[in-house]
Each structure stands twice: as C-alpha cells, then as structure tokens.
Amino acid sequence: MVNPYEAYVKTSVETASPIKQIVLIYDKAITLMNLVVESINNNDLKGKIEGIYEIETIIRALDSFLDFEKGGEIARNLHEIYQFILDSLIVINAKNDVNLMKDLIEIMEVLKEGWEEVERKI
C-alpha cells in the first residue's frame, strides 16, 4: 500500500520547477543530517549509517547535476563544497562528530537559501 504522504511528496517533486526540485533536495539532505545528529546522540548506529549513506547519495547527485561549462565559477565552488561535505561525512561516521555535522547543516541551509533566492527572482 502506498503511503499517502510519500505519494504527495513524490508528486510535489515531480511537478516542481527544476529550481524548486533542488530546494526540496536540500530540504531532504538537511532533514537527514538532523536525523544523523539524533542517531549519534542516541547511539543508534544503524540510523547513523543509513542516514549518512542517504546524505552521501544526495550530495553525489547534486554534484552530478553541476554544469561546469554554463555554471563556471559557481559550479566549481559548489563542487568544492560538495566534496568537502563528502569528506566530512567520512569523519562524522568514524568519529561521531556531531559538531561537524551541525556545521554541514549550516552550510546546506545557506546554500538552500541561495537557491530559494534564485527561485524568487525567476
């Protein structure tokens, strides 16, 4: 049986503009990052590992969307940020570094706000 909430979210993403889709992807990553913090705080190893895996998948997808030819310096900068996040996820997984994850959440929130600003201007 299909979960009504999941069906709603799927439809929302599929019918959203490309910029809105990016914002929704950022929202998902931020939610997962907060869940990883909770998992670490609750000694939930499975939740931490699953969350980090999902975050990594999202960040790799965001990185794969970059168009270096059209995006120029912005695309290169985003690529560097995404690489930093991926490298940091390894540290977080190994050391249960909640503070580093909170730093990543802040970075993702700033990036999401940037995309929301782009969305408002279009």
Tens of pLDDT, residue by residue over 39-80, are 999 999 999 999 999 999 999 999 999 999 999 999 999 999
Which residues, in sequence order, are CB contacts of 32 under 8 Å at separation 6+? 51, 54, 55, 58
Tokens of 109: 């929130």
Report the Cα 40 to chain-centroid distance in Å.
Answer: 18
pLDDT of residue 7: 63
User: At which residue do the structure tokens 């980090």 appear?
Assistant: 52
pLDDT of residue 89: 98
User: At which residue do the structure tokens 């929202």 appear?
Assistant: 27
Q: Which domains does the chain have, with CATH numbers?
A: 18-121 (1.20.120.340)
